[in-house]
Structure formats: C-alpha cells, structure tokens
Structure 1
C-alpha cells in the first residue's frame, strides 16, 4: 500500500439509499434517523458502495431520481500505521486455587482403603485414605509392655537405683507415645476443606514414605498473576479481567516485580509489574485452570499513535479513526502504556493497509467515503500537467511486526477531500 505524501482534492458525497433514511443540512454532516441498527450504503456516481445495511422503521424507499446531498470538502491529515504482531506479547494466564496440598505417605506400608472418590468435597480433618497399621499396632503393644516393665522396676527399687529406673520409665513412655502417633498418622486426613482433584495410588498398593497419595485444593478463593501498571494500581485495588467469556473483578493482594514470564510486555509500558490478584469463589462459579484475559496483554495488533488521535466511544470505550479502502472506520482500541506526554501504545483490530486519521477539517463519522477531488485515486501521487509523478513510498509488509525499539513514523501527509 503506497502511503500518501501529497495533497489531493476530494469530495464526501452522501445520498439516501434503500432501507435507510438520512437527513442532511447544507454545510453539515448527515445524520441517521429511525435506524434499528447503524449500517448504511454510500454511493458515488452511479455505483453504490455497500458498507452494511440498515433496517428502517416506516421509511419509504426513495425513487431512483432522488437527488444526492451536496458533498462536503475536507482536509484530512493521515499517517501510516506500523503494526506489531500481538502474538509476541502473549502470556498465558489462568486461575489457580487459593491453597493446594499433596498428601504423602508418612511411612513404608500398604494402602488399605481409599475413602473418597475423585472430585469429592472433603471437610477439614476428614479421612481420605487409610494405610495398613498391623506393624504399627505391634510396635504400640511392645512399647506398652516396656512401659509397664519400667514402672514395675521403679516400684521394686530404692535409693540411687530408683532414679535410674524412673528415667527408664520416661523413655518407655516416650516410645509408647511415638508408636501411637504413628498409628494415627496412618489415617490420612484433609488439613483443610477442599476438593479431591487427584488420587495418586490405588487400594492395595505398597507405598514408600514421602510418596504422593492424593491432592486436595481449596477453591473457595482463586488467584491469578496479572500484569499491572504500577503507576496506576496498588494492593487493594480492583482489576477488571475476563475469565474466559465472563467479565470479572479481581482484587490485587500484592504487586511484585515483573516475572520473567511477563517480561515480553515490558516494552509496552513505562512501569509494569506482576500483581497477585484474588477473586471470591464461595459460590463455585469459577474453576481452577480457567483462562484469564488481562486488558494489558494485547490480543489485536499493537500500534504507537499520538494521544491526540484518541476519542471516546459512545459506550465509554476509546477509539481512533482510520481510512480503510477509502472509507472512514471507527476502531475500538485498548490503551496500553503511554510514552511521554503525547505518544501511546494501543491495540485494536487494525488492517495492514489502514491509515490513521490524525486530524480532519470537519468531523468524520464511521462509514464516510473519502473521494479524492478530481478523481485521483487514494494512495497515488497527484501531479500537475506536464510534470512527472513522484514515486509513492512503498507499503509496509502486511502483518509485519515492528522490531523492538522502533516507533511509528511521524510523517503526516495531508489530503484534501
């Protein structure tokens, strides 16, 4: 696509079209009335250029002899866009349980029974598995017998020997307590209320001390690590995200330095960090593992533009205007990091041939067709009679990503429309 480095004269023609009703005042832009959806067809000469359709309410179809509204003249200042590939900034984000634990075997033994199934909800201190305790019970019996013998010895001696016998009683009692504790440890219990998400063993399986038995998660709260703008957000603030297709608010628990996984988005912001955010999930609406989408991670091409080109959309969003195939288009954008006072990174559904509208002498609306005055095609270089046309600048490769550190060209060609 050749970018425009010249001045051209053009017109903005507007005529009524079937299924749409336009009202135009001399010297003003047309407006649409009685539309249930905002689309229209715009015509030039005898050709109708469809850019959508509109459904009118009780609107008569104009005759073929309907006179077109007078075209308007405008001077439009445009600039080329250099697209950065959004895939280079992708960081996978997901919900994680607030707490997670893998229960392990305390000793070498056999799994005698599994008392919960996969997916079961376990109450705090509920028994999940039971290990074989035959050898442990024998150890308890032996320690108990040794304790009785030591106590009998204390009763049978006097003098200095009694003090030594009493010490042996204390040792025997400690051995007995340890043996009983090992029996209790063979009953594997949940340390907190949660859901059983994995069983690592089967009944009858011999396990070693330290071997994983079951995994339990507490998903009453869920957490995620998100990129945050450290200049604008702090611990305790709410962060707007999407959990799959559902809008949600997460609360920042803390803001940490940017993690290595998120380092790829560093160039888009002046001050970015990693926030650990939580969301209440007592109702069970969300599940651990669901994908989280942050507005600071672009999903559409990224461009660098002047802050003066940003405008507010009707729904409170931000937008810019571009020229796409000769038609003005409103592009809803997500603002990213600002660079100085007058430059900013934005992400939106831009095409490789789009030109940013930097300034216009009259307001432009989505769907306006820009027709160069005198019939000079958009994207070509105008010439005077008897002169040789200058070569137009070559187009940027479609879908090309801007190399790190490069910026959007700041030249602003003007065209008279």
Structure 2
C-alpha cells in the first residue's frame, strides 16, 4: 500500500523525479587508464534528479534593428514630368550640390524665354515713357519692368529646380526611378544619407545605460561599443523583453563611422534579445564554465551534455531565465550523486519504485 502511494506521489511530481541510473564510463576521462589496460568498461551507479524543461522560441522576443544614418533626406520630384537623367547610383558618393536627377525642362525653358521677352518689352516701355517726360507714365513703366524682372527670376528658379541636387556630402542609399519614367510632384526619387555618424534604437537595462555611457552591441558579427545619446520608455517592439529584464528601457545609441566601416541598413543585435531558446530554470542548476561563462547540465538522449547559457533575469531567489542551445526533450540535471562530465552516457537500472520513491531499472 505504501509502495502504491509512493508511485501516485511520484506521478504527481513528473518534473521533479529521481532516477537511479547506471553510468557507462566508456570514453570518459575517468576511465582512460581502464581503456588503456583493455579491461571491460566499468559501470557505476549514480542517482540524479532531473527536471523537464519548457523552451520558449527566441523569435518570441525578436525585434528588427538596423543602423540608421544621423542625416538622411529623400530626393523628391519638384513637379510633374519625365525623368531625363539619373546621375545617382546606389552607393555613389555625392558632393554638396552635386547633380542627382534631372527632369525634362522643355516647359520651364519656354517659360524662362517668355519671361525674358517680357523684361525686354518692359524696358522698351520705360524708355518711351522717359522720352515723353511724363513722370506718372514713367513710374508705371518702371513698376512693370520690376514685375517682369521678378517673373523672369521666378521662371529661372523653377527651371533650376528641374535639377535635383544633393543638399550635403553623402552616399546614395537608394534610387527609385529610371530615365524616361513619368513622376508626380513630390514623388520620391531616391535617398541620400550621411554615413559619418550612425544610430540605432536598442533595448537596455535602465540602470546600466546612462546618457553619455557606452553599451555593447553587435553589427552583424562585429562587436561595437555605442554611445548612449538618450534613454526613453521601452519601445513597443521590445515589449516581450519585460519578462526577461528587470528594468527595461530603450536607448538611442550612436556610432562614429568617420572611417566608413559600417553602412546604414546593416543589422544590429543586442545581448538583451536572445537568439537561442529561453528557459526558466532553478538557480542551483547553473554552474561556472571556462572563461567566465555559465553552463547547465542536461540529459539529452541518455547522454549528459553541458549547455553554455547566458543569464537573462532572475525570478525571485531560486529561478532564473537563461538562453542557450537547448533542444526539445532536454531535461535539466539539478542534482547528481557523482560528477558527470559532458558526453557521459547513462542507462536506467531495471526495477520498480523502491520504498524511497526512487525508480530503479536494470543496467
């Protein structure tokens, strides 16, 4: 009766079960000498306590981040018309006031010609008025000349707008049109950026991100220190990180790119956003590893494996969120009666549950 009760209690504690396992020490450092003497591999008994692990897909916390230029403008069409010339090319460097696009200027050229003719006519009227010597007629002629000159200047200004120029030294990021294409006034023709200084919004621990300090980010596979320009409320796209971070916030960080090593649009990664599966585990299951890293022992397909993890956030005093290369079916080893190295194979001893509630099985 007591054995049956023990079994029922054990089934209610599936995630916290004890198994008496046999450790086959073949191919482990502990039995190198035994292998050298060609003795049969010895097996010893070990008791381990393992827990099922619930994994969260890292895509749950994913948020797209990319470098943005500190200065960026859109080239836009000044009026309806046909694109005659496209000088700009993606990646091309343009000088300040350098030509990027030219629209067909046939109409504006005609308007300029007409305006200049009106100026000439107004000048002739002024001369005739002066010959007559009538001050009122002369004043009217002078006013007409000024109006004609203003119209000519305005026509010339509109004609010059048919050439779309770079407002600063920069790189052409994008070209949206081709020669011969009809565009509407205000339509985007391309994008120009100043790549000398780049920025990106990343999630941070508020306590570790004072304005003026630096934070570590990765630009693709390159580790970079970025300067914190501002700390703001957590952006909506980072909201899933609240359960993994004690005091989350967003930070606008900048990178000095005078050397041109990086480009606007490159992907950025933050240590706060996990890229491997996430699990909530017992604090006691986390151990120190080489070079200051942390690890967790798991039972995977009857073999002990060391999984390097990154600590994300503590939950109370006995649990912690970690991120690592876990696999479905992994079980965390929270207790072992012997030291188990990575790669140790295990097989359960045969037998039913004993009086202590341990599951025994045959080697």
Query: TM-score higher than 0.5 here?
Result: yes
TM-superposed CA distance for 1:254, in Å, is: 2.6
CA contact (8 A) 1:376 1:382 kept: no
Instruction: Find the aligned partners of 1:189 and 1:354 in 2 and give their Cα distance.
Output: 60
Q: Matched residue of 1:106: which SS?
A: coil
Q: Which runs of 5+ in 2 are unaligned?
A: 1-10
The residue matched to 2:154 in structure 1 has which SS? helix
Which residue of 97, 102, 120 corresponds with 1:130?
Answer: 102
For the 8 Å contact 2:20–2:48, the answer to whether it is kept is no
Aligned to 1:232: 208
The equivalent residue for 1:55 is none
Pairing partner for 1:261 from 232, 237, 249: 237
Larger relative helix fraction: 2
Q: Which residue does 1:207 correspond to in 2?
A: 183
Match of 1:80 in 2: 52
Distance 1:11 1:206 in 2: 78
Separation in structure 1 between the aligned mates of residue 334 and residue 35 of structure 2, nearest angstrom: 37
Return the offset for 1:126. 0.7
Q: Structure 1 or 2: larger strand share?
A: 2
1:394-409 alignment runs, 5 A limit: none
Number of paired residues? 344
3-state SS of paired residue (2:59) = helix
TM-superposed deviation, 1:324? 3.3
C-alpha separation in 2, matches of 1:138 and 1:217: 35
Partner residue of 1:330 out of 303, 306, 309: 306
> Which residue in the other structure is 1:105 paired with?
77
- Judge conservation of contact 2:227–2:254 (CA < 8 Å) in 1: yes
Indicate how the Cα distance of structure 1 residues 112 and 322 shifts in structure 2: closer, same or farther if over 3 A, else same: closer
Picking from 36, 42, 49, the partner of 1:62 is: 36
Partner of 2:7: none
**C-alpha contact (below 8 Å) 2:93/2:171 kept by paired residues:** yes
- Within-5 A mapping of 1:214-229: 214-229=190-205
Deviation at 1:280, TM superposition (A): 3.5
1:286 aligns with 2:257: no
Question: Could you tell me how far 1:65 is from its partner in structure 2?
Answer: 3.6
Tell me how far 1:346 sits from its aligned partner: 0.8
**Match in the other structure for 1:383:** 354
Moved more, 261-270 or 363-372: 363-372
Is the 8 Å Cα contact of residues 130 and 188 (structure 1) preserved in structure 2? yes
Give per-residue Cα distances to partners, 1:36-63, cap 9 Å, x unaligned.
xxxxxx69xxxxxxxxxxxxxxx99823
Question: In 2, distance between residues paired with 1:318 and 1:202?
Answer: 55
Any conservation in 2 of the 1:8–1:382 contact (CA below 8 Å)? no
| Equivalent residue number for residue 270 of structure 1 | 246
The answer (yes or no) to whether the contact 2:75–2:190 under 8 Å persists in 1 is yes
SS at match of 1:352: coil
Query: How far is 1:181 from its partner?
Result: 1.7
**CA RMSD, aligned part only?**
4.0
Residue 118 of structure 1 and its aligned partner are, at CA, apart by 4.2
Q: Indicate if the aligned counterparts of 1:322 and 1:329 stay in contact, CA closer than 8 A.
A: yes
Distance 1:168 1:366 in 2: 95
1:299 matched residue in structure 2: 275
Alpha-carbon distance in 1 for matches of 2:107, 2:18? 95
